[in-house]
């Protein structure tokens, strides 16, 4: 049985305790769903990420919009994550609300076995519900850009540390005004 996306439900340890937990709101009882389109919206904030040990995301304000299209034996799911995560700016080391917007397309299929494809999730034919919590967590982590920089000039108040930015700009000016660079520039221009 593939427990990738509903490991909590598969773990007998959790039992009814899980259903009283914060993550209960992320369980979708798909068995009772009519074929066709369904839409869900979830809010992923610090309380959500606290549920996952070793989460790289702590403070955040993310909206997860889930568009589910149910067919007879499979469901297509479009997952859109939008909002910000609290990160350290790569440029000035200030704490910033790094914006992110990412969309993912997933397929849920009722089939026994293990899926090799991360975008294909296999649900046991006898399962009647699944939890989106793990999926939302994994895709939120995947959505955080590697480079923690954004154009913060228009944000008010500006989150970046101006003194550090000025300092870096000065350093770049010094490097660029270094005669060695002029020599290199000349070589490049010739
Ligand atoms: Zn910055």
Domain ranges of the chain: 7-151, 160-190
Ligand 1 centroid distance, CA of 136 (Å): 28
What is residue 127's three-state secondary structure? coil
Helix H or strand E encompassing 167? helix 162-176
| pLDDT on residue 12 | 44
Ligand 1 centroid distance, CA of 160 (Å): 4
* pTM for this model (two decimals): 0.76
Ligand 1 centroid distance, CA of 82 (Å): 21
| pLDDT on residue 36 | 96
77 exposure class (CB count in 10 Å sphere: 0-12, 13-18, 19+): buried
Listed in sequence order, the residues at least 6 apart from 97 whose beta carbon sits closer than 8 Å to its beta carbon are: 61, 84, 85, 86, 159
Q: What's the distance, CA 51 to chain centroid?
A: 15
Ligand 1 centroid distance, CA of 11 (Å): 43
| pLDDT on residue 70 | 94
Ligand 1 centroid distance, CA of 93 (Å): 6
Ligand 1 centroid distance, CA of 85 (Å): 14
| pLDDT on residue 13 | 44
Per-residue pLDDT of the chain (190 residues; tens, 9 = 90+): 334 444 444 444 444 444 458 999 999 988 889 999 999 999 999 999 999 999 999 999 999 999 999 998 889 999 999 999 999 999 888 899 999 999 999 999 988 888 899 899 998 888 889 899 999 999 999 999 999 988 777 777 888 888 888 888 777 777 777 766 676 666 666 6
| pLDDT on residue 5 | 45
Ligand 1 centroid distance, CA of 51 (Å): 29
Listed in sequence order, the residues at least 6 apart from 79 whose beta carbon sits closer than 8 Å to its beta carbon are: 64, 65, 66, 103, 104, 105, 106, 135, 136, 139
| pLDDT on residue 6 | 46
Ligand 1 centroid distance, CA of 48 (Å): 26
| pLDDT on residue 19 | 46
Ligand 1 centroid distance, CA of 89 (Å): 5
Ligand 1 centroid distance, CA of 151 (Å): 9
């Amino acid at each position: 049985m593939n427990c990738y996306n509903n490991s909590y439900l598969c773990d007998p340890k959790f039992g009814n305790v899980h259903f009283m937990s914060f993550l209960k709101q992320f369980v979708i009882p798909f068995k009772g769903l009519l074929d066709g389109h369904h839409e869900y919206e979830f809010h992923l904030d610090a309380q959500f990420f606290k549920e996952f040990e070793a989460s790289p995301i702590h403070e955040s304000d993310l909206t997860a919009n889930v568009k589910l299209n149910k067919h007879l034996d499979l469901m297509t799911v479009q997952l859109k994550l939008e909002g910000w995560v609290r990160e350290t700016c790569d440029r000035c080391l200030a704490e910033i609300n790094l914006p992110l917007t990412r969309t993912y397309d997933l397929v849920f299929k009722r089939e026994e076995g293990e899926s090799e494809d991360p975008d294909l999730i296999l649900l046991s034919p006898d399962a009647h519900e699944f939890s989106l919590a793990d999926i939302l967590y994994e895709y939120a982590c995947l959505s955080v850009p590697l480079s923690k920089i954004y154009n913060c000039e228009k944000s008010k108040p500006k989150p970046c540390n101006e003194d550090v930015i000025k300092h870096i700009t000065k350093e770049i000016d010094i490097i660029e005004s270094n005669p060695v660079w002029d020599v290199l520039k000349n070589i490049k221009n010739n």
